[in-house]
Amino acid sequence: MFHREGYTIIAGTLAGYGLAAWAVYRWLGSASWGAWLAYGLLLVIVALVLQFFRNPSRHTVLQEDGVIAPADGKVVIIEKVFEPEYFQGVRLQISIFMSPFNVHVNRNPVSGEVTFFKYHPGDYLVAWHPKSSTLNERTSVVVRTPQGHEVLFRQIAGALARRIRWYIGNGDKVRQGEEFGFIKFGSRVDLYLPLNAVPQIQIGQNVRGGETCIAKLLNE
């Protein structure tokens, strides 16, 4: 199953593969080593495009006090930081880095109502750069849960990811685990949680979007 964001690119890639394969056949024939090498390289390109836009089904176990990973990838940051855009105060930041080989569907980490949304055009620093969360192209979303917790999650474009897609806006009701966006090619998602949130993961751990619980929210 492939994501709708990839339909045009997949179609173009397959068409390009057909034309390139025809050209190789005309120039090199069908039996030479050069032709087979060219066919192999073309198939690798097609396979890379197909795997990038794959959209596997995920089973989300709803958790009122849990924060579910919004994306596949590796946990690269767990620390308390100052969040200047919305909270203007210290929050617990958890960041997930997505390589080009990860599934790039973004999913709601909590259920609730979208109380803040903003898109920021910006630069394209590598996703692990410390300033990418404030300088790169990005979106910021805040969801207030039924229990009153506010969770901010941010899509961040990387050096290759230059197209962020989102499907939610202010006032929308969202459900934990459901798709809210997509980032094309390598990128990152940051979450900003209440200071008393308890991480359930550790640095370097690989997580699955829509399934892995990354933190527990405690009622004050």
Q: Which residues are catalytic?
A: 187
Phi-psi domain of 204 (left: phi exceeds 0; alpha: psi -120 through 50; beta: other):
left
- DSSP character string of 26-42: HHH-SSSHHHHHHHHHH
Q: What is the Cα–Cα distance from 77 to 183, expressed in whole angstroms?
A: 19
3-state secondary structure of 180: strand
Name the percent of the chain in helix, strand, coil, to the closest 5: 20, 35, 40
Q: What is the DSSP letter of 211?
A: T
Burial 185-220 (b: 16+ CB within 10 A, else e): bbbbbbbbbbeebebbbeeebebbbbebbbbebeee
Quote the CA–CA distance of 13 and 2 in Å, as a whole number.
14
Hey, what amino acid is at 140?
A: S
